[in-house]
Amino acid sequence: MPNAFSSTKLSSALLENLTSLGYQQMTDIQAQSLPLILAGRDVIGQAKTGSGKTATFALGLLHNLKVKRFRVQALVLAPTRELADQIAVEIRKLARAIHNIKVLTLCGGSPMGPQIGSLEHGAHIIVGTPGRVEEHIRKGRLSLAELNTLVLDEADRMLDMGFEQPLEYIVSNCPSARQNLLFSATYPAKIEQLVSHLMTNPVKVEIASSQDNSAIDQYFYQVDNNDQRPDAVERLLYHHQPNSVIVFCNTKIECQALADKLLQQGFDCAALHGDLEQRDRDRTLIRFANKSLVVLIATDVAARGIDVDDVDMVVNYHIAHDPEVHVHRIGRTGRAGKTGLSCSLVSHKEAHKVIRLEEYLKREISPESLPAVDINPVLVQAQMVTLQIDGGKKNKLRPGDILGGLTANPAIKGDQIGKIKVQATSAFVAVDKKVAKQALKTISEGKMKGRTFRVRKISR
């Protein structure tokens, strides 16, 4: 089989686990990067979301790990807590066949106390955000003296978020003899500067978008000024009737203002940006992933934590400053063999961005008028609602327990229950709106794991 994982130098334990997970053939980024990583080279990987880059560096750092040496040997830095959590889950999954590997996440927005306690017990691999990792190093709680692998994931966004100083401090506390792996969806000039003093003779692997943008219908709509943009988004939502849409805004203020406006109009929507409390960001992402939220209005940085395959439509509230970011945004739709829809709002003041985008896409862009809307337009409403249960992994609660608890009520069918996500101290389950009241009653009055749990519906 071409590009088989078995053709690499990975250990038999890692290969057997990959087979059990159904990972047999490497993606393009894996086939081109993994042999270099296993050979000890510094690697720059430029690839879009969904290309398999997390597994690429995860397998590399697991290959380098000396499990019996209970010290921090690998550090993965990511721009957001959501992305860091996804990376940690993937590493744990790939490490299943190797016993006693400890993976610890250190992110801002999470309580400091439990992190301090976990660090005292030690770890092999740290996954975290730069600000929080820097803080633990400064306070003497985290030592990187035995680090052999440093990974920067979504490096472009870390620089956009102003993490240069924390990154410099963290790197200054790493051993000079180490392997450096840097992954980025885009490759701006700032990355070049970072690479020059971070990496040693790196090999750059650039993968064309794994996204087939021919499966995405792109439309550009003319607006005269910024005041027209909220109404333009409304029109597009009424006209196209998407079940799942991400609206990208360039700033947090625009993001929140648009969300407030659409909420007033009755849309199932929420904002996702850096000024929100972490708890609210987590809930919003869960609701969007489980289809109890139709419209997600996000900044580019916040959207890096979104891992949802079936997004019907992407709206660009403004054209992105960088053409690569535009392509990255619209790549959120049209995944997994489905067709997608991208709608971008364009004003005369954005002519320079349109010219750059035309050069990048190698096509002419002719903005058209916004579609007309019926006199009594119909809102698309979410078919599901999300229930939060005050119990999780620490209570030994599993998805099967929640599913069983709900279907114990004959009025609730299995196909009326959506995604179930169990966290440390809470769990979230999507249920069909038609049975939401029965579901709340069933869980609050019934028992799971021999005890009752409090439950409530999440609306915002």
The pLDDT of residue 230 is 95
The pLDDT of residue 210 is 44
Rounded to 5, what percent of the chain is helix, strand, coil?
40, 20, 40
Over residues 330-357, the mean pLDDT reads 86
Whole-angstrom distance, CA of residue 126 vs CA of residue 106: 7
Residue (of 73, 92, 84) closest to 110 by Cα position = 84
* Buried/exposed code over 423-440 (b: 16+ C-beta within 10 A; e: otherwise): eeebbbbbbbeebbebbb
Residue 438 has pLDDT above 90, yes or no: yes
- Amino acid in position 300: D
Show the CA angle centred on residue 89, arms to residues 286 and 125, nearest 5°. 140
Question: Most confidently modeled of 78-82, 94-98, 385-389, 401-405?
Answer: 385-389
- Amino acid in position 269: C
Report yes or no: 54 and 95 within 8 Å, Cβ to Cβ. Answer: no
Q: What is the pTM of this model?
A: 0.69
Percent of the chain with pLDDT over 70: 96
Residue 129 has pLDDT above 50, yes or no: yes
The pLDDT of residue 317 is 96
Tokens 């659409």 found at: 262
Q: Is the dihedral of CA 345, 348, 353, 356 positive or negative?
A: positive
The pLDDT of residue 337 is 64
Instruction: Order across the sheet with 340-346: list the strands.
Output: 216-222, 340-346, 313-316, 245-249, 295-299, 269-272
Residue 296 has pLDDT above 60, yes or no: yes
Instruction: Order across the sheet with 384-389: list the strands.
Output: 417-422, 427-432, 384-389, 455-458
The pLDDT of residue 93 is 92
pLDDT band at residue 341, thresholds of 50, 70 and 90?
very high
The pLDDT of residue 50 is 65
Residue 211 has pLDDT above 50, yes or no: no
The pLDDT of residue 336 is 61
Residue 185 has pLDDT above 80, yes or no: no
The token duo for 128 is 């975290």
Q: Who's near 2: CB < 8 A, 6+ residues apart?
A: 25
Pairing of strands 74-77, 103-106: unpaired
Instruction: Order across the sheet with 43-46: list the strands.
Output: 103-106, 125-128, 74-77, 149-153, 179-184, 43-46, 203-206
pLDDT band at residue 131, thresholds of 50, 70 and 90?
very high
The pLDDT of residue 174 is 94
Residue 212 has pLDDT above 60, yes or no: no
pLDDT band at residue 307, thresholds of 50, 70 and 90?
low
Q: Where are the alpha helices (DSSP H) in 66-188?
A: 81-94, 112-121, 130-138, 155-160, 164-172
The pLDDT of residue 11 is 87
Average pLDDT in the chain? 88
Taking only Cα atoms into account, the Rg of the chain, rounded to an integer number of angstroms, comes to: 23
pLDDT band at residue 267, thresholds of 50, 70 and 90?
very high
Domains, in order of start, for the chain: 5-206 (3.40.50.300), 213-361 (3.40.50.300), 384-458 (3.30.70.330)
The pLDDT of residue 208 is 67
pLDDT band at residue 49, thresholds of 50, 70 and 90?
low
The pLDDT of residue 281 is 85
Over residues 41-59, the mean pLDDT reads 85
